[in-house]
Amino acid sequence: MLETSARLLRLLTLLQTRKEWSGADLADRLEVTPRTVRRDVDKLRDLGYPVNASVGVGGGYQLGAGAEMPPLLLDDDETLAVAFGLQSGATGPVTGIGEPSLRALTKLRQVMPSRLRHRLDALSVDVVARPEVKSAVDAKLLATVASVCHAHERLRFDYRRHDGEEMRREVEPYRLVRSGARWYLVAWDIGRSDWRSFRVDRMTPKIPTGPRFTPRELPEGGAAQFVATGINRATTQARARVRLHAPIEQIAEMVHEDWGTLEAGDGTSCVVALGAESQTSLARWLSAFDVPFTVLEPDELREECRRLADRHTLLAERYREA
């Protein structure tokens, strides 16, 4: 009996590691006959594991999805990965899953072997309570949008723009993309006949959904690249070139590739090309370098730097007089 149980566990583990196995391969791995493999597969089915079988050339066994969730076999690293994922889910940018995540984590911890429980407890962290981020998305809303993406059904929704204006949109939804604490839907906009990305936290879907559609080919680079390009375009409305009077080695670590590029100078200076939402933001960023600088272009940034300097001087004078 113990030998049979151990073999069933090995068989289940093998089925979880590959999409499909032939009966001969499983028999070789388990060192049994194909007939024994067939009997063991039947036993797994009796335990609630949906093992699909196909006959003929190229046929084999495949672990399928069932009506209920049977027990899972996870190795040590997989168990810890699931536990850490549940911890993060309890405090992430999705609302409505905090309590279910903690309940699932409690159940998982109860059946963990002591060696894993100790590792999990050693890596437990306290989370500083913070107000819910404005871009947090309800789990049910994410599930609804993900469902229509999978089913290839048109979606109608009310959408609130960044300026507060409300509008009705109808789209062919394709992919959900997460960027930081925000979720985006990449979709083909029916009214504009073009690809668009929408912040999910600004959407109010209308049910029932629309008719099914034939999927189009996603924009070049895929959904994630499409969203990243849009975000970069939105956050770099203002651009400038500035000479920083310091060696490039001193400045290099301070310039992230996502918002600036550096050009070497004469050894005592370098040129940085920056992008930001506005010239005001650029002016504030320049002070963070804490070195003398010369604005090469545009003139608007030069004037904004003067205004910012005058404001700081005025505030300093007021504080001294007080």
Q: Tokens in use for 38?
A: 């067939």
- % of residues, the chain, pLDDT over 90: 31
Please state which of the ranges 4-13, 187-196, 206-215 shows the lowest mean pLDDT. 4-13
Distance (Å, whole) CA 51 – CA 57: 18
92 and 139 in contact (C-beta within 8 Å)? no
Query: In the predicted model, what is the mean pLDDT of residues 250-257?
Result: 82
Q: How far is CA 220 from CA 178, 224, 234, in A?
A: 18, 10, 19
The per-residue pLDDT of the chain, averaged, comes to 82
pLDDT digit string, tens, across residues 29-61: 999 998 999 999 998 888 878 888 887 655 688
pLDDT for residue 258: 64
Nearest Cα neighbor of 209 from 153, 151, 142, 141 is: 153
125: pLDDT strictly greater than 60: no
pLDDT for residue 282: 87
Q: What's at 171, amino acid-wise?
A: V
CB count within 10 Å of CB 81 equals: 12
161 and 167 in contact (C-beta within 8 Å)? yes
91: pLDDT strictly greater than 60: no
Distance (Å, whole) CA 199 – CA 135: 8
Judge if pTM exceeds 0.75.
no
pLDDT for residue 267: 80
> Any idea how long the chain is?
322
Query: In the predicted model, what is the mean pLDDT of residues 292-300?
Result: 92
Distance (Å, whole) CA 139 – CA 172: 21
Residue by residue, DSSP assigns 46-75 as HTT--EEE--STT--EEE---SS-------
CA dihedral sign, ordered 71, 72, 77, 81? negative
Please state which of the ranges 115-119, 252-256, 270-274 shows the lowest mean pLDDT. 115-119
pLDDT for residue 235: 64
Long-range contacts of 183-189 (CB under 8 A, 24+ apart): 183/93, 183/94, 183/135, 183/137, 183/142, 184/227, 185/145, 185/149, 186/218, 186/219, 186/223, 186/226, 186/227, 187/155, 188/216
* Phi, psi values for residue 277, rounded to 5°: -70, -30
pLDDT tier at 67, thresholds 50, 70, 90:
very low
Query: In the predicted model, what is the mean pLDDT of residues 181-194?
Result: 93
322: pLDDT strictly greater than 90: no
80 and 73 in contact (C-beta within 8 Å)? no
132 versus 160: the higher-pLDDT residue is 160
Q: How far is CA 219 from CA 106, 188, 199, 227, in A?
A: 42, 10, 18, 10
Q: Tokens in use for 240?
A: 């400038």
Can the peptide bond before residue 113 be classed as cis, meaning omega within 30 degrees of 0? no
111 versus 284: the higher-pLDDT residue is 284
Query: In the predicted model, what is the mean pLDDT of residues 135-142?
Result: 84
